[in-house]
Chains A and B, each alone.
Chain A
Amino acid sequence: MMTLVYIELQKMFKKWRTYIGIIAIGLLTVIIQVSLYFTGKEIINHQMRGIEESFLMVGNLFNGYFISRMILTLLVIHIPFLVVLVGGDLLAGEATAGTYRMLLTRPVSRLQVITAKFISGFIYVVVLIFWMAFISLGVSLIIFGSGPLLSVGSGIIIFAENDIMWRFLCAYGYAIISMTTVIFISIIFSSLVQNAIGPIVSTMAVIIVFLILSAIPVDFLQGLKPYLFTSHLGQWNNFFSDEIDYKEVFESAGILLAHIAVLYAVTAYIFIKKDILS
């Protein structure tokens, strides 16, 4: 299995499309960092307007944590678009190239092959999120320095400097679960077709449709909302609340993990039964 995963990763990282997400996140993060470097203090002043008159503010609020939090908020909703580029190609790419015939006439079972594909997809998500963490949090801390974190939600919360890092780590960890769900959806679509475009478009269509459904203020659709996986993708944000609702976080994580398990099982079943005609 280790050999198969290693081979899958070699194939994955030899493909240009694998680097689209990494380059896109890198570029966007740098653009956001540069623009905030010049205009970010105005944002802080705008958000703190009215408070500064009542409270004595000590320390640097315009720091790496603040920048990183902004980048996380701005980028995390777009990462699904980037991960499906790779996920959609994992199986369909083999069908398009005709390499299933070479791969599946080796002494490896189809279950091993599909499991290696899923593990590779998961590793790609981890690499992407780690990269985002490094470039947004790591680089921002170097450029903008450290300090307390200003978090604006239903109210304004300022986290002490020693109370921040674990929140980021938990948020990135949750983002890995969310994006793994997304990439697994693209892999199931990828197992059904012979062209990577279909799975990419289909996965994005599912996410967009589910997001629209959960946003429509109709009782019936609001009743459906807890059952739509898209409702649970953004729970990472909970880690930047004053009081974290752990029950809600664990329930959402559980629902996403259940999705991951079911998607893997169904894809494995489809793949094992599939006739290779390409």
Chain B
Amino acid sequence: MNSEQVIEVRGLTKKFGSLTAVNNLDLNVYRGDVFGFLGPNGAGKSTTIRMLLSLIKPTSGEMKIFGKSIEKDRKEIFPKIGAIVEKPDFYLYLSAYKNLEILGKLSGADVSKKKIMSMLEMVGLDKRYKSKVKTFSHGMKQRLGLAQALIHDPELIILDEPTTGLDPQGMKEIRDLIIYLSREKGKTIFLSSHILHEVELISTRMIIINKGTTQVEGTVEELLASDKVKVTFEVDRVEEALGIINETSWQKEFKSTSKNEINFELAKEEIPALNKFLIEKGFSVSAIVPVRSLEDYFLKITEGGLK
């Protein structure tokens, strides 16, 4: 992990009247991170992103991007940031080309025809460059949103739900593009997403927030390894196996059963021990399937199971 902090947030709080949308949030994003920003609806993700992009003023707290204050050094920071905030909205009465030209110009980007067309080609909209954005589907706007976020070649890319509205092929293309931007171009990506599988696939580090406060923050591997794993054992003679398990301390780890499967919740190091136990008791274990995923972890965190 690169130790250069790109985003540093300390004690960030935002109150709308009596509602506290973000409460004393801390956050660290390092150069080269693909940083997953997770939380259920209403957790304060969008409010946080809007504060990071100075669309909303925080009630209190400190935010630094590239080590500089967002308020004071805006003109130095913002040329290095590309962002999609929630759904991408454009000037509907202008063409895709004109929208990119305008937004690129405001970011100080090269807005030559060659550059704009190459950006449109990258997101698969080059053949519709003359079309007014009002004729675009949500997925096409999402692609154009990505193009406007990248047109000025930013160092930090903040993406709020970038694959919403895309078909599976489009989602994969965007995921591949994020991985390419991170690994090949060395960009730092701040990725807010509801699609946990997506975050699990591409993020290096992540934070889960709920009710405006940090629940956990760390690398994806660390966070997943720190908890018990759901494991399905496929065995013959399930009823008989259950009877034996109920007489042992493994009973505490048992969760459910179906057909020839018995589901447990185990620490990783307990899996071979349970396997050995079942084999020694004469059962045939045909498969051990860990079903532990970020989704389970996320649900546990946000439902208050951990922490």
Q: Interface of A with B (CB < 8 Å)? A: 3-4, 7, 10-11, 14-16, 97-109, 273, 275-277
Contact = CB atoms under 8 A, between A and B. Distances in A.
B75 A15 contact: no
Contact of A107 (B56, B87, B88, B108): B108
B57 A275 contact: yes
B94 interface: yes
A233 to B, nearest CB: 32
B58 to A, nearest CB: 10
Given A4-B106, A7-B105, A276-B50, A105 B55 contact: yes
Contacts of A275: 50, 55-57
A14 B55 contact: no
A225 to B, nearest CB: 41
Given A11-B91, A14-B94, A275-B57, A105 B85 contact: yes
A99 B90 contact: yes
B93 interface: yes
Interface string B69-109: 00000110111010101111111111000100011011110
B21 to A, nearest CB: 11
Given A101-B85, A105-B55, A275-B56, A3 B105 contact: yes
A276 B50 CA distance: 8
B107 A106 contact: yes
Q: Give the top 7 A-B pairs by smallest Cβ distance, nearest first.
A: A98-B89, A107-B78, A106-B106, A276-B55, A101-B85, A275-B56, A105-B53
Contacts, number: 73
B251 interface: no
Given A7-B106, A14-B98, A106-B107, 17 more contacts: A4-B106, A7-B102, A11-B102, A97-B89, A97-B92, A99-B91, A101-B55, A102-B88, A102-B89, A104-B54, A105-B54, A105-B55, A105-B85, A106-B103, A106-B106, A275-B50, A275-B57
B interface, size bucket: 20 to 34
Interface string B40-78: 000000000010011111000000000000000011011
A4 B50 CA distance: 22
B148 interface: yes
A274 to B, nearest CB: 9
Contacts of B54: 104-105
Given A14-B93, A101-B89, A3 B106 contact: yes
A104 B89 contact: no
Contacts of A15: 93
A99 B102 CA distance: 12
A107 B89 contact: no
Given A100-B55, A101-B55, A106 B91 contact: no
Contacts of B89: 97-99, 101-102
Contacts of A102: 88-90, 103, 148
Interface of B: 50, 53-57, 74-75, 77-79, 81, 83, 85-94, 98, 102-103, 105-108, 148
Contacts of A100: 55
B107 to A, nearest CB: 5
Contacts of A14: 91, 93-94, 98
B83 A105 contact: yes
Contact of A98 (B78, B81, B87): B87
Contacts of A105: 53-55, 78, 81, 83, 85
9 contacts: A10-B102, A97-B92, A98-B87, A99-B89, A101-B85, A102-B90, A105-B83, A107-B75, A275-B56
Nearest to B158: A105
Nearest to A278: B89
A146 B50 CA distance: 61
Contacts of A16: 93
A107 B107 contact: yes
Contacts of B74: 107, 109
A243 B41 CA distance: 71
Contacts of A104: 53-55
A107 B53 CA distance: 11
B75 A103 contact: no
A107 B102 CA distance: 13
A7 to B, nearest CB: 5
B106 A108 contact: yes
Contacts of B90: 97, 99, 102
A257 B86 CA distance: 41
Nearest to B83: A105
Contacts of B148: 102
A277 B79 CA distance: 22
Interface centre among A106, A273, A277 (most CB of B within 10 A): A106
Contact of B86 (A4, A11, A101, A108): A101
A136 to B, nearest CB: 30
Contacts of B56: 275-277
A99 B83 CA distance: 13
A239 B293 CA distance: 80
B91 A97 contact: yes
A171 B294 CA distance: 71
Interface centre among A10, A14, A105, A107 (most CB of B within 10 A): A105
Contacts of A11: 91, 94, 102
B88 to A, nearest CB: 8
A101 B89 CA distance: 8
A273 B55 CA distance: 10
